[in-house]
Structure 1
Amino acid sequence: MEATVVTANAKPLVKVAALCGSVRRGSYNRGLIRSAIEMSKGPINGLEIEDVDITGLPMLNTDMEGEGSFPPVVEAFRHKIREADSVLFASPEYNYSVSAPLKNAIDWASRPPNVWADKAAAIVSASGGSGGARSQYHLRQIGVFLDLHFINKPELFINSHHPPGKFDKNGDLIDAQTRENLKKVLLSLQTFTLRLQGR
């Protein structure tokens, strides 16, 4: 039997479910998730980030629930959240709040048993005006009921309109300072998750 070699710098694996609140193909928030996944495969050790698609979820309707069961697409989504150690939300701001697709996903996963409970979480956002600050604070309020534990610092609000040049035409994050700020959010989420789990 071969011995498993663990390097001195290795960290326990933290599995992160990443949710984008925008279903638009060129969404800057989806670009943030792509950058986060890229960082998890390179400069950040011990972080595994999966982009969890919410576009196929039906609108919440409890008539669709069976006896302890949900539609298959909802069951699959809930399983992804349940198996994750923590959650990364990329939340645009729609009308001073979170987007309808994101709130719908949150509500489905909160149906008993609530699969969000006792997980660490972080939020990043790219939007006009305040950069999504109001959506982040609304999401934190929702998280109180869900029993989600958000990191407090650092915060990342990206005004996606001014100054220009932070994202390319495909919605990919190209600004070096913003990428560094995103990395700091991910490292904070990783550290907080391990602390919350006592690892």
Structure 2
Amino acid sequence: MVDAAIELSKEQIEGLHVEYVETALLPMLNTDLEVDGKFPAEVEEFRQKILEADCCLFASPDYNYSVTPILKNALDWGSRPPNVWAGKTAAAVSAVGGGRRAQYHLRQIGVFLDLHFINKPEFYMNAHRPPGKFNADGDLVDPETKDNLKEMLLSLQAFTLRIQEKC
């Protein structure tokens, strides 16, 4: 789903650039890894990418009614003082059999992190039913789903611009 958002941002949405930020390589949160006020190098790099971003697009399947441990770990590293999530606008996408519970829990976590999620449109997609949403290479090919994703990205872009104007 993130690949489809990147493609849409390049081809169809002027002024929006979506970049994939790897979170799987972050060490598990352990404050003992913070030495002299510095984080491990991969955490510093991750936090810098978040600081430089105008907004955040999260992708997560429903994992035991919540987000994946990898995403939660990234959220926690970003929340270490100073909280790099604070004041950012955000949206979430899910391409799984469920996903709603994970997104709602992500929104709850976002309250504490001072993330500001768009309210609508929400983007949930059952990647398995009906078949044909993705091709054999994993690319999103369903035109209606692409339009829904584009609508969500445009909403995130507009919300981000409104928030930035007020600051």
TM-score, reference length from structure 1: 0.81
Q: Give the distance between the partners of 2:111 and 2:68, measured in 1 at CA.
A: 18
Q: Give the distance between the partners of 2:125 and 2:110, measured in 1 at CA.
A: 21
Question: Alpha-carbon deviations, 1:31-89, whole Å to 9, x = none?
Answer: x1111111111111101111101121011111000122100000000000011000000
Offset of 1:170 from its aligned partner?
2.3
- Sequence identity, in percent? 66
The one-letter code sitting in structure 2 at the alignment partner of 1:77 is: F
* Structure in which a larger fraction of residues adopt strand: 1
1:178 aligns with 2:110: no
Q: How many residue pairs are counted as aligned between the two chains?
A: 166
- 2:72 match: 103
1:143 aligns with 2:148: no
Query: Structure 1 stretch 61-70 or stretch 163-172: which is displaced more?
Result: 163-172
TM-score, reference length from structure 2: 0.97
Aligned partner (choices 117, 121, 126) of residue 90 of structure 2: 121
Q: Give the distance between the partners of 1:73 and 1:173, measured in 2 at CA.
A: 30
Task: Extract unaligned runs of 5+ from structure 2.
Answer: none
- 2:154 match: 187
Aligned partner (choices 30, 49, 57) of residue 88 of structure 1: 57
1:38 aligns with 2:11: no
Q: Give the distance between the partners of 1:80 and 1:52, measured in 2 at CA.
A: 8
* Structure in which a larger fraction of residues adopt helix: 2
The Cα RMSD (Å) is 1.0
What SS does the corresponding residue of 1:189 show, helix, strand or coil? helix
Structure showing greater radius of gyration is: 1
The one-letter code sitting in structure 2 at the alignment partner of 1:141 is: Q
- Structure 1 outlier segments of 4+, above 6 Å: none
Q: Give the distance between the partners of 2:11 and 2:124, measured in 1 at CA.
A: 24
Aligned partner (choices 17, 37, 40) of residue 48 of structure 1: 17
1:158 aligns with 2:121: no
Q: Give the distance between the partners of 1:94 and 1:169, measured in 2 at CA.
A: 24
What SS does the corresponding residue of 2:81 show, helix, strand or coil? coil
